[in-house]
Amino acid sequence: RKEVEQDPGPFNVPEGATVAFNCTYSNSASQSFFWYRQDCRKEPKLLMSVYSSGNEDGRFTAQLNRASQYISLLIRDSKLSDSATYLCVVNMRTGNQFYFGTGTSLTVIP
């Protein structure tokens, strides 16, 4: 089983839509979870950390389900500028080695 798995998509949604991505991880001892976004041929940029109680930042909501070992990202009221690849990132073992998912591609259509 891969350390981190994501549905690669692509997700094509109209502006204003709500879209959700899931990510599963294999190591139950993982401690830190993040969502990053990556634009084509650019560096990953932190979108948000994921906390046990769930957290929200504007139109973005992240949740963690430790029992089922998955994290999710919900984007409300999608904007054209949300078009990117969304990367799920999880730390492993001692906490100093981070694993990236393959990314989920999102295109928001006018």
Contact footprint for other proteins (CB under 8 A): 31-32, 34, 38, 41-46, 49, 87, 91, 93-103
Do the Cβ atoms of 7 and 103 come closer than 8 Å?
no
Do the Cβ atoms of 65 and 20 come closer than 8 Å?
no
Give min distance, CB of 43 to other proteins, in A.
4
Give min distance, CB of 110 to other proteins, in A.
26
Sign of CA dihedral 88, 91, 96, 102: negative
Q: How many helices (H) and strands (E) does the chain have?
A: 0, 11
- Residue 109, by phi and psi: left (phi above 0), alpha (psi -120 to 50) or beta? beta
